[in-house]
Structure 1
Amino acid sequence: MTAPAGPAPTGTADRTPHPGPLPPPAPAPAPAPAPAPAGARHGSAPAHDRGEPARAARLEAALGDPFDPRNPNGHLALVRADDARHSPHATEALLARHRLSAEFVPHDLGGRLTDLEQLARVLRPLFRRDLAAGYGFGVTSLFAASSVWTAGDPAQRTALAGVLLGGGRAAIVHREVAHANAILRREVAATPAPGGGHLLNGSKDAVMNADRTDTFVVYARTSPGHGPHSHSVFLLTGPPERGQVQRLPRVQMPGMRGARFSGLRLSDVHLPDSALVGTPGQGITLALRSFQISHCLIPGTVLAGVDGVLRLAVRAATEHRPGHQPARRWHKALSGVFADLLACDAMAVTALRALSLAPKDAYLLAAAVKYTMPDLLREDLEELAAVLGARGYDRGPLYGGFQKLARDLPVAGLGHSGTAVCQAVLVPQLAALARTAWFRSAEGPAELFTPGAPLPPLDHTRLTHSGTGDLLAATLIAAAERLSTHSAGPLHTTLATLARTLVAELRTLRDRCAQLPASSTAVDPLACALADRYALLLSAAACLGVFEGQTGHDTFLADPAWAVLALSRIARRLGAPVPDLPPQAQQTVLAEALDRCRHGHSLDLYATALAH
């Protein structure tokens, strides 16, 4: 899939200039209100009033109109940089001026990271334009740093915070996993060094930003075999005292072509004992704990790119049309993809909020988000390609971003490798969930389903990688019961029917998963198929939770139309019976999509104002 291109880097790595010190951090945010009792639901503010971070609004305005051909941060400039396999230099300079790297540093270390929902909102303006820039400039620094924020000692945390606050980057050197692609193939081994410390030896085929940083978080093998204690984590924050860190030639990727992937070889790199993050053999545990962040944050930001493509499809379907209305043949695709985006956002935002509100119970939900959302978004791109038609091959400023996103999305999600990792989390838990959790657990806090509501600060140390609690299955069951107790028109009646159908699917899933052996693994095709169904049911539960959170407010999300359309598409994917939908479901959702595009608002839960 990959091949080296160009000579090996020589001399000093290309690094973002230090933009100067950050101002002193603001006071830490107040904790969120105590969770409501299980099962309680309350209203929330309209989507467009939900406290958009001022930093997100400033970044959106600074990036400017993406359709302006003169904009150095617009689609035309970004596509041309991608064609040339260059990083978008003007955009990276703008991000450096906005000190975006500070978003990845916890607040108590001088950065801006308080909760992941807010971080996702800050990143969406960038990801709406270019996934490669979002990854390449620095979100991978957060993925590298997360294990240090989770288990690092004060000296390690302070040292890494200083790198990022100074405008630098951190690169992550993954361990090798099954189904490996270029990013995950090969690994580094660490052996005890004479006199203390460890010697690191090994290579990786592709490490993002390896050629422009000296800071690496390395998942290294420290014992043979494939047990849970086979790897440890090491932090390298500068050139080693002994040994060699060699950057190999740049690797061409099929997508995210402007991102900087290079091979990396470590030869007898000596690290002192103080470089060990956590305890020996804790690498896989730390990966499972800290990777929950990337499992939620990747879908929660990549979704913004598909939001941008839906906007392109609306433009293509309405230009030169009477009243700027799309032809009837496109109504189903445009409204359906919009409903999918809202469903995906409901799932992603719920998981992002869970990492602050219920970190001990978010493990499975985070894996389910990363497992199911990339496939849903790829399906949506296929539907939108039909709407775009020949425009989808255009390389100009209006439609040039579509082909780029179609290439970038599989790389952003690590493709099949990302799926395999999440299957390895979900499949072993299905039997236990069926026997102990489903139809027994209490609902999670209502605040999970109120996007934009205050959150307690994220505490990385509270993230776990165990437990079989299920935050959303109980919500699906309870929401179906509440919807069945009253009828407020055809849409509510249809929503109640769909909810009951999905509860029946959960009951069938429970019966089938209860028959699985407790030792089921991700290589069992039946168990993997059941995991697919489980993740889709969680997305339906998130939709119902967010819909119920709007009760009492005259907003689009308080209208059952979007939830009806979203749940009907989930039910069809499950092969479950779907009732005839009231015509106003599709009409209402389509009208909202057209209105948001006309007035420049995002096509997610927040409906935030966009630069145009």
Structure 2
Amino acid sequence: DARRTPPAETEALLTEEGLGAEFVPARLGGRLTRADLLARALRPVFRRDVALGFGHGIISLFAAGAVWAQGDARQRQEMAGLLLGGGRATILHHELAHANAILRHEFTARQSPDGYRVGGRKDVIINARRAGLQVVYARTEPARGPRSHSVLLLDPARQDTAHLRHLPRVETSGMRGALFSGLEFTDCPVPADALVGSPGDGVGLALRAFQVNRSLICGVVTAAAGTVLHSAVRAATEDRAGPVARRWHKPLAGVFADLLACDAMATVVLRALSLLPASAHVLAAAVKYVVPDLLRENLEELATVLGARGHDHASPEYGALDKLVRDLPVAGLGHAGSASCQAVLVPQLRGLAERSWFVEQEPPPQLFAPRAELPDLDYSLLGIAGGGDFMAASLVASADRTAALRGPGAHLGALAGAFATELRTLREQCRRIPPGAAALNDPAVVRLSDRYARVAGAAAVLGTWEGQDGTDPFLTDPAWAVLALTRTGQRLNIPVPQLPDGVQDTVLGELLRRHREGRSCDLDALAYTP
């Protein structure tokens, strides 16, 4: 990272292990079946380096999503062959999820007798020089609208260099080990068979692929935050014979509970992409809105534990905090990413309040069961509008069931009831949202989308706790969910009961055990090598 150089030996190792196969559907010879299993496979990479995870990892999936959704047999085989052979693909998009600078400029493609002529320039594209295939979202209609863009699959080796110019590398503040540079097309000829799907399919394909991309980012970047949490525990326990100082109990246990909540949210939506593909788009946007905000807040809390050590660039034990703070915005976890998620949520709120909340049936239990079998991910089945709100239905059902709990679970029931009450309040407020695009410019309506997204996240935590099969005593215990939901309720400023005695100590005890045993800070608690 300090040298701004990709780690060549690590990239070679990942290529040898066949990382590219994780992004290729099993029916095409790869290992991609479900998005939640893909996140689990990628976490060891992101736990070490977000830039590596993007530059030698999921950016290829982001590019390939449109091809898996609507490419023809030749295009799918070409993409699969590239990734299975250790190559990379990149994406050229006017609103790519991973970097705010991508919002500038766009590409255009005008029809010609033998295909298309592509023009335009982008200054910041990851792997622009190293990619074996380029997936270009180009404007094919001058008027704005849902059919304004199309997708083209380009092979750089076949492009006329007289019409294509590689621009210099761009140094970014974060993800410094990734290679960003630009491309400029000048009336570049492209064959007709480069078109993915039909003319005008670009916006729909982007909305489908972004559901996977957004959810996957949340699932894997949480693992990077787990590395920072481990470093904070190390700082709080090293050279100390006795227990952790009392002043560090709240930030350490609280951040651990939040990371479990983030994993619950991401895992639920990643599973929903397979189980409930027609209606997962609402939850995908909500999770992508909530998780980055939680992670930023968590890093600020951990900075108080780490102190100056958290900004020691040269320290392998403590430098993860400073690096992740720089990496997150470049990874699409900044304000532009939040705004794009609100643009998905706000137009849906009134319809959901009128037709879905407190009416829809709860989702199947397989959504939350850790070992339940699910259908394979199929990009072509992902919906982009409508479909109801299964997470609101899950919250209502969870609140009804947990209201009858006694003992340690009674507090969880009270929390579930508080969030169900908040959803009822949101229903009345969202029914009054005026129709039309003006709602996106109304701060009061945008605030409703914020509150809704956090309520949906709380529903994911409740469903995940209820879905435990008893094999993990800690996850079966309600303590982690109680702490996570209490913190969420306090952020929303809704009335939640006082945290019971012993909850924080239980969560902290599990975190210390995982630190001693070298286990991850997510729902899987997998062993790893620091």
CA shift, 1:549, in A, is: 1.1
Amino acid paired to 1:299? C
Indicate the residue corresponding to 2:135 in structure 1.
Answer: 217
Rounded to whole Å, the distance in 2 between the matches of 1:157 and 1:267 is: 27
Indicate the residue corresponding to 1:335 in structure 2.
Answer: 253
Q: Which one is further off, 292-301 or 446-455?
A: 446-455
Match of 1:497 among 414, 418, 439: 414
User: Is residue 124–residue 301 contact of structure 1 (8 Å, CA) maintained in 2?
Assistant: yes
Alignment length (residue pairs): 527
User: Is residue 240–residue 271 contact of structure 1 (8 Å, CA) maintained in 2?
Assistant: no
Match of 2:279 among 355, 361, 375: 361
CA shift, 1:592, in A, is: 0.4
Amino acid paired to 1:514? R
Match of 2:268 among 334, 343, 350: 350
User: Is residue 451–residue 605 contact of structure 1 (8 Å, CA) maintained in 2?
Assistant: no
Is 1:130 the counterpart of 2:63? The answer is no
Rounded to whole Å, the distance in 1 between the matches of 2:478 and 2:196 is: 48
Match of 1:383 among 301, 306, 331: 301
CA shift, 1:402, in A, is: 1.7
Q: Once the two structures are superposed, what CA deviation does each residue of 1:325-366 show, in whole Å capped at 9, x if it has no partner? A: 210001000000001001111000000001111111111111
Rounded to whole Å, the distance in 1 between the matches of 2:240 and 2:21 is: 45
Match of 1:157 among 69, 76, 84: 76
Match of 2:505 among 562, 587, 594: 587
Change (3 A) 1:182 1:437: same
Amino acid paired to 2:185? L
Rounded to whole Å, the distance in 1 between the matches of 2:336 and 2:69 is: 24
Match of 1:558 among 473, 476, 487: 476
Bigger relative contact order, structure 1 or 2 (CA pairs below 8 A, ≥6 apart):
1
Superposition pairs of residues 107-506 of structure 1, within 5 angstroms = 107-176=26-95, 181-193=100-112, 195-240=113-158, 242=160, 244-323=163-242, 325-394=243-312, 395-487=314-406, 489=407, 491-506=408-423
Change (3 A) 1:155 1:178: closer
User: Is residue 341–residue 603 contact of structure 1 (8 Å, CA) maintained in 2?
Assistant: yes
Rounded to whole Å, the distance in 2 between the matches of 1:453 and 1:470 is: 21
User: Is residue 600–residue 609 contact of structure 1 (8 Å, CA) maintained in 2?
Assistant: yes
CA shift, 1:214, in A, is: 3.9
User: Is residue 222–residue 281 contact of structure 1 (8 Å, CA) maintained in 2?
Assistant: yes
Rounded to whole Å, the distance in 1 between the matches of 2:5 and 2:246 is: 41
CA shift, 1:180, in A, is: 8.5
Change (3 A) 1:178 1:275: closer
Q: What stretches of structure 2 of length at least 5 have no aligned partner?
A: none
- Find the residue that maps to 1:182 and give its secondary structure: helix
Amino acid paired to 1:519? G
Indicate the residue corresponding to 1:576 in structure 2.
Answer: 494
Rounded to whole Å, the distance in 1 between the matches of 2:95 and 2:17 is: 35
Rounded to whole Å, the distance in 2 between the matches of 1:176 and 1:559 is: 42
Indicate the residue corresponding to 1:542 in structure 2.
Answer: 460
Rounded to whole Å, the distance in 2 between the matches of 1:480 and 1:417 is: 34
Change (3 A) 1:192 1:553: closer
Percent identical residues: 57
Rounded to whole Å, the distance in 2 between the matches of 1:213 and 1:177 is: 17
User: Is residue 601–residue 608 contact of structure 1 (8 Å, CA) maintained in 2?
Assistant: yes
- Find the residue that maps to 2:282 and give its secondary structure: helix
Indicate the residue corresponding to 1:513 in structure 2.
Answer: 430
Rounded to whole Å, the distance in 1 between the matches of 2:77 and 2:291 is: 34
Amino acid paired to 2:231? L
Amino acid paired to 1:157? R
User: Is residue 99–residue 330 contact of structure 2 (8 Å, CA) maintained in 1?
Assistant: no
CA shift, 1:447, in A, is: 1.1
Q: Once the two structures are superposed, what CA deviation does each residue of 1:296-339 show, in whole Å capped at 9, x if it has no partner? A: 1000000000011000011101112224x210001000000001
Rounded to whole Å, the distance in 2 between the matches of 1:225 and 1:330 is: 56
User: Is residue 437–residue 468 contact of structure 1 (8 Å, CA) maintained in 2?
Assistant: no
User: Is residue 163–residue 169 contact of structure 1 (8 Å, CA) maintained in 2?
Assistant: yes
Rounded to whole Å, the distance in 2 between the matches of 1:522 and 1:385 is: 34
Amino acid paired to 2:20? S
Q: Which one is further off, 311-320 or 412-421?
A: 412-421
User: Is residue 97–residue 337 contact of structure 2 (8 Å, CA) maintained in 1?
Assistant: no
User: Is residue 495–residue 563 contact of structure 1 (8 Å, CA) maintained in 2?
Assistant: yes
Q: What stretches of structure 1 of length at least 5 have no aligned partner?
A: 1-81
Change (3 A) 1:605 1:545: same
Measured on the aligned residues, the alpha-carbon RMSD in Å equals 1.6
User: Is residue 179–residue 416 contact of structure 1 (8 Å, CA) maintained in 2?
Assistant: no
User: Is residue 47–residue 227 contact of structure 2 (8 Å, CA) maintained in 1?
Assistant: yes
Rounded to whole Å, the distance in 2 between the matches of 1:113 and 1:178 is: 21
Rounded to whole Å, the distance in 1 between the matches of 2:80 and 2:223 is: 28
User: Is residue 239–residue 245 contact of structure 1 (8 Å, CA) maintained in 2?
Assistant: no
- Find the residue that maps to 2:441 and give its secondary structure: coil
- Find the residue that maps to 1:218 and give its secondary structure: strand
- Find the residue that maps to 1:212 and give its secondary structure: coil
Rounded to whole Å, the distance in 1 between the matches of 2:327 and 2:382 is: 29
- Normalized per residue, the structure richer in helix is 2
Rounded to whole Å, the distance in 2 between the matches of 1:553 and 1:414 is: 33
CA shift, 1:239, in A, is: 2.8
Rounded to whole Å, the distance in 2 between the matches of 1:453 and 1:182 is: 40
CA shift, 1:555, in A, is: 1.3
